[in-house]
Amino acid sequence: MQKISENTKPFTKYQKFLVAMLAFLQFTIILDFMILAPLGAILMPSLNITTTQFGLVVSVYAFSAGASGLLAAGFADRFDRKKILLFFYGGFVVGTFLCGIAQTYQFLLMARMVTGLFGGVIGSVIFAITTDLFPFEQRGRVMGFVQTAFAASQIMGIPLGLYISNHWGWHATFLMIVTFGVVVGSLIFFYLRPINEHLKLRPDRSALHHLFDTVTRPLYLKGFATTALLSTGGFMLLPFSSAFNVNNLGVSLEELPGVFAITGACNIIVGPIVGRLSDKIGKFKMFSIGSCLGIIMVFIYTHLSVTPISIVILVSVLMFTSIMSRMVSASALMSAIPDPVHRGSYMSVSSSIQQISGGIAAAVAGLIVVKSSQGPLLHFDVLGYVVIGASILTMAMMFFLNRIILPKGLENPNLNLSHTD
């Protein structure tokens, strides 16, 4: 009875603000990463770089984000989460501004490194805040709304970014993100309440000891391994999706924003639905459904040649629906892994592992995919097989984690640390 009441309990006004603010924050972070994919078709010829170099531009963000996450992990549970969020988000905005004024490949590479150093920690802070302030039974709904930022970046951010880059150059796209960032930062500064209840649980240990305690727990290690595999698909396919659509599927640069917009619009609807279903039918069951759909659609997508635009849109919608289903359900399920005292540290390490493994995946994808002299990308089908294999293995690992996480998440009375009325 308790489970049902928590699942259907409406959000308070402040909780609604929190969800909207976190979604808007996530929107800017995801957009900053995802915008490189559609800009790839413009940026590579503009800077005269190869697919391998472009893969490095994508992966350097991930590597620096992973490093900063590990460095911050020991301190993540020792400060008000609002202050940590403002510090790293400010650095992220500065790094994005540097991308907006980059004139050479080397400068852009450095700018992406700076952006990653700060941006890589923000995702873990968002999930720590979500886990602090919402009970396990509501997290599917919360994650469903927060992760719609992924779709919103497609329907609003990416088409707008492509439109701006087509008219004023790719630099202007990053400056657009900076503008969004200033708005989000102001909302956080003025309206987000302090989030410091976790400080009462902080053990009297050094930051290094706290980090060591986090990375040596068996359950946490299983969670880290699953996170590493979970990020493989997105980092491998998304950076080259626009180039594949244009060079292999016959989508024009003018049609490309429409593909992203329609796909994103569908997923804005799908996100909250998947979140509610995750809480209702079970988070692992929803993850499995999304994974099976994803395996089918990745196989179809990576084997397409020149295709009518309507079919490209249909396949893209279904493939991104599977990604959304996996993201929402996995985030909600795995939020129950860390104990409250390790929550910030665990999320930081998990984010680092996600970024580092994603960076490796993007770099490997850059080595697998080769642009032919005629234009089309080669070996994209091989990339699809790698993603499918990772998806199957991830499902197996999530199955075993679910057997431990579910009773842990439902029975832990300290999961919700802060009053949000």
Domain tally for the chain? 1
Domain membership flag for residue 218: no
Please tell me what DSSP assigns to residue 154.
I
- 360 in a structural domain: yes
Q: Does 169 fall in a domain?
A: yes
Q: Say how far apart CA 342 and CA 32 lie, in whole Å.
A: 28
Candidates 294, 289, 324; CA nearest to 152 is 324
Task: Give 248's DSSP letter.
Answer: T
* pLDDT for residue 272: 84
pLDDT tens, per residue, the chain with 421 residues: 333 345 556 778 888 888 888 888 888 887 887 777 667 777 778 788 877 787 788 778 877 877 887 777 767 677 788 888 999 999 999 999 999 888 888 899 999 999 988 987 887 788 888 888 888 777 888 888 887 776 676 666 667 777 777 778 788 888 888 998 999 889 889 888 888 776 776 655 666 777 787 888 888 888 888 888 887 766 788 777 878 888 899 988 788 878 877 887 887 888 888 888 888 888 899 999 999 999 999 999 999 989 999 999 999 899 988 988 888 888 888 888 887 777 778 877 887 787 778 778 877 888 888 877 777 888 889 999 999 998 999 999 999 888 887 655 443 434 444 444 5
Distant-in-sequence, close-in-space partners of 95: CB < 8 Å, separation ≥ 6: 111, 112, 114, 115, 116, 117, 118, 119
Instruction: Tell me the residue range of the domain where 401 lies.
Output: 12-192+238-411
Q: Which burial class, exposed, middle or buried, applies to 40 when counting CB atoms under 10 A from its CB (0-12, 13-18, 19+)?
A: buried
CB 294 within 8 A of CB 327: no
Residues 396 and 181: their CA atoms lie apart, in Å, by 38
Query: Is residue 208 assigned to a domain?
Result: no
With respect to residue 210, please indicate whether it lies within any of the assigned structural domains: no
pLDDT at 274: 87
Tokens of 416: 């919700």
Q: Identify the pLDDT of residue 359.
A: 72
pLDDT of residue 413: 38
With respect to residue 7, please indicate whether it lies within any of the assigned structural domains.
no
- Is there a contact between 97 and 319 (Cβ–Cβ < 8 Å)? no
Is residue 421 one of the residues assigned to a domain? no
CATH number, domain with residue 284: 1.20.1250.20
One DSSP character per residue, 197-240 reads GGGGG--S--HHHHHHHHHT-HHHHHHHHHHHHHTHHHHHHGGG
In a domain, 403, yes or no: yes
The DSSP secondary-structure symbol of 11 reads: P
pLDDT value of residue 157: 66
CB 158 within 8 A of CB 38: yes
- Residue keyed to tokens 């009875």: 1
Alpha-carbon gap, residue 161 to 147, rounded angstroms: 20
Nearest CA to 149 among 137, 140, 157? Answer: 157
| pTM of the shown model | 0.71
